[in-house]
């Protein structure tokens, strides 16, 4: 799916590990304040191969939906629908980032819009996202994409080595009955 001139969002595949490792190495400082602390092998091809395998296995079980943003041969972002829960919740949590050389061009907003369309396609009712309270750029993205702030959770996630407060956002995707057949 082309979200801007030259930028293509594609499903995660087993072949993506080398480009992902390179992207995480290029963006190590950019992402560090917003991410869990990663072990060193996170930044290697082998480490990414193992993570991609685990993520694809979760996708097979309808527990996640993983997408990669490509600019030519380079990975320049990701968006994941994490922790998909069916039953009466029909919800998932968004996680996303954009390469430091490509921020400020509306790409994250494009990724979130893509994930919203995708959530509808796979029969989810709701998406949620949590941002650090000082992550103004991410809050802007969510507001642009129709998400609303519904609360602030103290010590919500262990990010950059500490339990940190998060603003919680959600968007209702559709009102299909829970348990309706999924496409």
Contact in structure between 119 and 127 (CB atoms under 8 Å): yes
64 or 123: whose CB is closer to ligand COA?
64
Residue 82 sits in the site that holds ligand COA (CB under 6 A)? no
Nearest to 107 by CA among 81, 136, 77: 77
Distances from the Cα of 78 to the Cαs of 20, 110, 165, in angstroms? 9, 11, 23
Q: Which of residues 20-59 bind ligand COA (CB under 6 A)?
A: 31, 34
Whole-number Å distance between alpha carbons of 150 and 173? 15
27 or 48: whose CB is closer to ligand COA?
27
Residue 91 sits in the site that holds ligand COA (CB under 6 A)? no
Residue 80 sits in the site that holds ligand COA (CB under 6 A)? no
Distances from the Cα of 149 to the Cαs of 57, 58, 167, in angstroms? 32, 28, 7
Please state the separation of Cα 32 from the chain's center in Å. Answer: 16
17 or 107: whose CB is closer to ligand COA?
107
115 or 123: whose CB is closer to ligand COA?
115
92 or 123: whose CB is closer to ligand COA?
92
Nearest to 67 by CA among 25, 105, 96: 96
Among 64, 81, 98, 173, binds ligand COA (CB under 6 A): 98
Residue 135 sits in the site that holds ligand COA (CB under 6 A)? yes
> Applying CB under 6 A, which part among 16-24, 47-55, 62-70, 105-113 lies near ligand COA?
105-113
Nearest to 137 by CA among 145, 39, 45: 145
The residue ranges that bind ligand COA (CB under 6 A) are 31, 34, 96-98, 103-109, 129, 131, 135-138, 140-141
């Amino acid at each position: 799916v082309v979200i801007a001139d030259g930028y293509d969002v594609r499903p995660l595949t087993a072949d993506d590990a080398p480009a992902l490792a390179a992207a995480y190495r290029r963006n190590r400082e950019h992402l560090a304040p917003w991410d869990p602390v990663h072990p060193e092998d996170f930044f290697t091809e082998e480490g990414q191969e193992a993570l991609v395998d685990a993520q694809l296995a979760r996708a097979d079980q309808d527990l996640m939906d993983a997408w990669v943003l490509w600019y030519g041969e380079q990975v320049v972002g990701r968006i994941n629908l994490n922790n998909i829960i069916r039953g009466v919740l029909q919800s998932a949590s968004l996680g996303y980032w954009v390469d430091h050389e490509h921020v400020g061009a509306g790409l994250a907003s494009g990724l979130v819009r893509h994930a919203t369309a995708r959530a509808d396609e796979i029969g989810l009712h709701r998406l949620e996202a949590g941002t650090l309270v000082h992550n103004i750029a991410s809050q802007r993205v969510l507001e642009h994409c129709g998400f609303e702030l519904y609360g602030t959770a103290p010590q919500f996630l262990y990010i950059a080595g500490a339990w940190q407060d998060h603003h919680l956002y959600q968007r209702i995707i559709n009102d299909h009955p829970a348990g309706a057949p999924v496409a």
